[in-house]
Structure 1
Amino acid sequence: MTVFGKSAQFDTSQDSTVRVHIHRLRRQLESFNYGKSGKLLQIPKGDYRLLLTEEAESADDDAILIEVHSKPSGQKRTWTVIAICFAATAIFWGMLLFSARSQDSVTSTLRQTSFWKPIAAHERLPLIAAGDFYMVVESGSDGKIQRLAMRPAIRSGRDLDKYLRMHPDQYSKLRDRDIHRLPATVAMGAAEILPIVASVRPDHAMADIIPVSQISQETIDSNNIIYIDRFSELGMLRSPALGQSHFAPGPDPNELRDLPSGRTFRVRAAAENQIGRDDVAADPYGYDYGYIASYPGPSGNQIIVISGMEDAALAQMVKLVGDKRQLGILSRQIGDAKAFEALYQVRTSGGLIFDTRLLIARVLEASKV
């Protein structure tokens, strides 16, 4: 519950988040342990336990190759080994050169997309703002601390001061201890965006990451901002331009409304996670929705938003903005517009991403942003 930001009502039979992340961790450990001997960390299939085991050393491809070519003797064997080493070295450098050229090609392509071009060409280094939760300390009538709580109207110490001025009866009950909580998906998203930003900029400078709660008007005026947060939290971001979006949260936390068309997009889990609900059609897929946007800021800077209704879509949008093919599709829809927004449908199956589809790409009026 702490790691994934779940409430006390979190039910693992209805939510596959833990299973998916354990599966990924198990695969990462298997990859890391491949070809190694001695004591190894492993997660047995079907378990969540982390075990320290000792496995026998296994032969790898290189060892097999040497054994096959070790039969010749004397000078012939020496030249055989030299030839093998030379060939391996040539292949290695060839692959390295190809990888570097491919990476340069990908970076160049990303730099020219409508999404990254303003950041790549702008003289100001972007600032990555990660959506965090401000925790208020609540005390009882005896003055003793009872719990930490998140209140939608209180996002920072400044907000708490304003709230207390409007509610003086709460002075003895609410306290500021400068405690913030950063959801794991948002933190990982910020870490993944960091190298992308550095790669698209000519100076390859590394951006800073700060929590949204520390964003001030001065910060917005002096930096390009890349917001990473859930869509339901976007209304709390300290940016006047976010009100220009044509999307709005619905009456239900799992709903998103497109204001021009009146369409409602609803997040839902796959049918396998909705057993016992008669109102849900037998659909093996779950649906989440991702949102990205870019528009000029208040002082000639650029504001970028990377968001999702739930964690699956948010994580997928982080990957999408580093995908030259997906950004190419978006660029063809919006042209060279400096202000735009896009909505994506993320289809999930078994807790994993099945596909991502662009639903709406809309050019915004930059003069009003």
Structure 2
Amino acid sequence: MADLRQDGDEAALDEARFLAAAACVRPGLEGNRSDKLLRLFDFLLKRSLEGHPPTEQQIADEVFSTGRTNAPRGDANVRVYVHRLRKVLKELPPGTDGDRLDLPVGSYLLRLVTDATEKDSDAGGIAAAVPAAPRPMLTRPVFRWSAVLVLLSMAGLAAWFALKPADETRLADSMPWAAISGSSRPITVVMGDYYFYESLPDAAGENQRRPDTRKLVWDRQVPTPEDLIIYQMLNPEKADRVLDTNQHYVSSGTIAGAFAVRAALRRDAVFRKREVRLISASQLSPDLLKSTDVIYIGQLSGVSAILRDPLVQASPLRLDDDLVSVTDMATGRKYRSDGVELRDEQISRRDYGYVARIPGPAGNTLIVIAALRDPGLREMAELVVDPSRLAPLRTQAVLSSQGFEALYQVRTLGSVNLGAAPVFQRAIRTQGIWDRSATTPEYRPIAAPSATPR
């Protein structure tokens, strides 16, 4: 048992170091001002963590959105950008611990190169680089998240100090960031996530002995492990067929958005000296909600109850049961996302993004950066770190209110965002939102597994 625990700890450390090295790379690519190069890195990073090397055609379709089903083998565009990425990785300085990422010739998988690896290579010895630990889209238990996120924060801080000039346009002068520019509190960046539990096969079923019949289930009525306990208590005949494995899902758009926001804060001299924490929504505690300025980034369906209750009391916008639309209770108008992202570059799609600011419970501030789906979330993450695009929020209604919200319509074509057009921006009532008790919804047993959030 001790050996198994040690192996698990080493795997967690390798994965954390790999992600920390990736955090050092991304700022350099963003400074390169090549959207395609950045998308290529994010795609190869995801496939490397999963341990599944992509083909050249898959890169062309997923990164460059060629959409060609009968294309000839080989794609010069892919090879050119892979060569550019390989060159950038070699030129970037290693992280503070000496680790860096490398893209070997003839491979489409990133690898982690350590100081020991390079020393062995210089001495003529043979040493294998630390491989990318496979990582499913469902995260490992929450305590694994903490170690990874702390390392990412440290690596990202060092990278931005080294690569970004100090005289760039300040976020602190634009809304919603001006609300926290005068604060000395730590900043907590909260990523929206979803809780999954494991469903076991029926003991009387024919497939009971097959381990692959187990499945992970997400259900809106079971948002936390505590809710799963309630379900087991109310349904004792099913209690032994559901299991808490402490799994949480975070979308790729949420992770990319959190990186972009944290990096933008580190570039601004006003925020640079403040501690910036990166956690998942399931890790947000009342203490952090009270003592830090909180920035939520994620899909609207991933907002946890601790943030959702005050937001619902302040805003007339309501997320509909289908999770792909919101209704403005003030006007009765519905805003619906087109949902899935299409690879057909001839068909545009629509999503909706959201930005809000409300006062926290103890003089602090809560900022919400969200969307119905990941395409809208990616666009909102770009919008909120660009002071020029935030300029329209400097209206009298927004500046004079304790809280405000803004809704944007986002247009996408394939995997490319075409921009965001403001739908409305308005002040919202925030007085007393932390004083009123929220109603507790009646518990509804699980009827059927819900679809996985996208």
TM-score by length of 1: 0.68
Matched, 1:346 2:416: no
Q: Does structure 2 retain, via aligned residues, the 8 Å contact 1:195–1:206?
A: no
Query: What does residue 427 of structure 2 align with?
Result: 363
Cα deviation 1:75-98 (Å, max 9, x = unaligned)? xxxxxxxxxxxxxxxxxxxxxxxx
Matched, 1:263 2:333: yes
Between the aligned partners of 1:17 and 1:345, the Cα distance in structure 2 is 29
- Match of 2:352, SS state, is strand
Q: Does structure 1 retain, via aligned residues, the 8 Å contact 2:343–2:414?
A: no
Deviates more, 1:325-334 or 1:135-144: 135-144
- Cα–Cα, structure 1 residues 310 and 19, in superposed 2: closer, same or farther, change >3 Å? farther
- Match of 1:106, SS state, is coil
Residue pairs, 1:141-220, within 5 angstroms:
141-142=202-203, 146-200=214-268, 201-202=270-271, 204-220=273-289
- Match of 2:181, SS state, is helix
- Match of 1:118, SS state, is helix
Query: What does residue 29 of structure 1 align with?
Result: 82
Matched, 1:292 2:355: yes
Between the aligned partners of 1:169 and 1:269, the Cα distance in structure 2 is 37
- Match of 1:305, SS state, is strand
**Ranges in structure 1 where 5+ consecutive residues have no aligned partner:** 5-15, 44-48, 52-98, 275-282
Matched, 1:120 2:189: no
Query: What does residue 154 of structure 2 align with?
Result: none
Q: Does structure 2 retain, via aligned residues, the 8 Å contact 1:216–1:238?
A: no
Q: Does structure 2 retain, via aligned residues, the 8 Å contact 1:255–1:266?
A: yes
Cα deviation 1:195-216 (Å, max 9, x = unaligned)? 2233444552341111111222
Q: CA deviation at 1:239?
A: 4.4
Q: Does structure 2 retain, via aligned residues, the 8 Å contact 1:114–1:331?
A: yes
- Match of 1:169, SS state, is coil
- Cα–Cα, structure 1 residues 238 and 250, in superposed 2: closer, same or farther, change >3 Å? closer
Residue pairs, 1:217-228, within 5 angstroms:
217-228=286-297
- Match of 2:395, SS state, is helix
Between the aligned partners of 1:157 and 1:270, the Cα distance in structure 2 is 29
Residue pairs, 1:21-60, within 5 angstroms:
21=63, 26=78, 28-33=81-86, 41=105
Between the aligned partners of 2:341 and 2:250, the Cα distance in structure 1 is 30
Matched, 1:322 2:385: yes
Cα deviation 1:313-335 (Å, max 9, x = unaligned)? 10111111101111111123622
Between the aligned partners of 2:183 and 2:412, the Cα distance in structure 1 is 36
Q: Does structure 1 retain, via aligned residues, the 8 Å contact 2:320–2:326?
A: yes
Q: Does structure 2 retain, via aligned residues, the 8 Å contact 1:130–1:228?
A: yes
- Cα–Cα, structure 1 residues 187 and 270, in superposed 2: closer, same or farther, change >3 Å? closer
- Match of 1:168, SS state, is coil
- Match of 2:274, SS state, is coil
Paired amino acid for 2:301: S
- Match of 1:232, SS state, is helix
Cα deviation 1:335-369 (Å, max 9, x = unaligned)? 24331111001112243111211111011123143
Query: What does residue 245 of structure 1 align with?
Result: 315
Q: CA deviation at 1:290?
A: 0.4
Cα deviation 1:1-41 (Å, max 9, x = unaligned)? xx69xxxxxxxxxxx999343559947524325699xx965
Matched, 1:230 2:299: yes
Between the aligned partners of 2:340 and 2:272, the Cα distance in structure 1 is 45
Between the aligned partners of 1:151 and 1:232, the Cα distance in structure 2 is 12
- Cα–Cα, structure 1 residues 42 and 359, in superposed 2: closer, same or farther, change >3 Å? farther
Paired amino acid for 1:358: P
Query: What does residue 324 of structure 2 align with?
Result: 254
Fraction of identical pairs, as percent: 24
Between the aligned partners of 2:282 and 2:196, the Cα distance in structure 1 is 11
Q: Rg larger in 1 or in 2?
A: 1
Q: Does structure 2 retain, via aligned residues, the 8 Å contact 1:17–1:351?
A: no
Over aligned residues, Cα RMSD in angstroms? 3.5
- Cα–Cα, structure 1 residues 28 and 300, in superposed 2: closer, same or farther, change >3 Å? farther
Aligned residues: 291
Q: Which has the higher strand share?
A: 1
1:104 to 167, 178, 181: 167
Query: What does residue 137 of structure 1 align with?
Result: 198
Q: Does structure 2 retain, via aligned residues, the 8 Å contact 1:269–1:285?
A: no
Between the aligned partners of 2:390 and 2:316, the Cα distance in structure 1 is 21
TM-score by length of 2: 0.56
Between the aligned partners of 1:273 and 1:316, the Cα distance in structure 2 is 17
Between the aligned partners of 1:152 and 1:315, the Cα distance in structure 2 is 24
- Match of 2:227, SS state, is helix
Paired amino acid for 1:295: I
Cα deviation 1:126-184 (Å, max 9, x = unaligned)? 11111122220222343876221112122222232233333333321222121222221
